[in-house]
Amino acid sequence: MKAKVKEKVYIYGKHALMEALENTPQVIRKVFLAPEVRDADLRTLIERHAIPAAELGASQGRELAGRDAVHQGVIAVMDPAVLLISLDSLLARLDLTKNPALVILGEVQDPHNVGAIIRSAAAFGVSGVLIPEHNQAGVTGAVVKTSAGMAFRIPLVAIGNVNATIALLKERGFWIYGLAMTGSTNLGTETFDTPTAFVIGNEGAGIREKTLEHCDTTLSIPMHPRTESLNAAVSAAVVFYEWSKKHPEAL
């Protein structure tokens, strides 16, 4: 499945670019560096991978990365379509006997939430982040920045229909958990002893009703009664951490 993504995306900041160059240099098409950026390691990696480089003009950073982007004089053009892999490719490399975990984004539209979920998934040993092509924030500069470069370390997977993807994963032995404020299963009681996929829904509306019907169960996070809910990215981090406690070999 090919993701519907922009032909090019601007990523910014030295850390994000270093992560890309060290892990997936093939996604970088061109680099813009301000004259004051004299980082020898960064420039060596750019030259090693034969990536075209140009000087970043004084006002160019705002034009390329956006008014609020903290780019540190480092901006690169990335092709996100090269970064995203197919679900078949991911499944071929997984050892299902080790009960891996995946996360399925279900219309998560804030790029900062997407980036934070990617970062947490990488931190707690999740094997891949599945990103649908419709009604979903794609891989952008803000996503990469918020992920602290983890978008270049954990597999990102392009999928089409979320429900069809869930059906396919079920055929492969995955147990599907939907994260819901009123979930039927307390997170702390789960053993996570099968291959697992977590569905993270939209920030406001949650998981679509039809998608909930395809989940094997819904998970709730125990919270103090003074707090109604957590946002999507924080909820995901809590769930991934709880899963990792049952799978220390993933860390």
Model pLDDT, residue 70: 74
| Cβ 14 vs Cβ 74: under 8 Å | yes
Q: Domain 9-80 classified CATH 3.40.50.410? A: no
Q: Which of 39, 69, 70, 67 is nearest to 53 (CA)?
A: 39
Euclidean distance between CA atoms 174 and 194, whole angstroms: 7
Homologous superfamily of domain range 84-250: SPOUT methyltransferase, trefoil knot domain (3.40.1280.10)
Q: Which of 86, 234, 87 is nearest to 174 (CA)?
A: 87
Which residue ranges of the chain lie beneath pLDDT 50? Answer: 1-6
- Written as one letter, the residue type at 158 is A
In the Cβ-directed half-sphere of 71, how many Cα atoms lie within 13 Å? 28
Model pLDDT, residue 62: 73
Model pLDDT, residue 64: 79
What residue spans define the domains of the chain? 9-80, 84-250
Model pLDDT, residue 2: 43
Q: List, for residues 49-85, the tens digit of each pLDDT value.
A: 999 999 998 878 777 777 667 788 999 999 988 999 9
**Tokens found for residue 82:** 């090269």
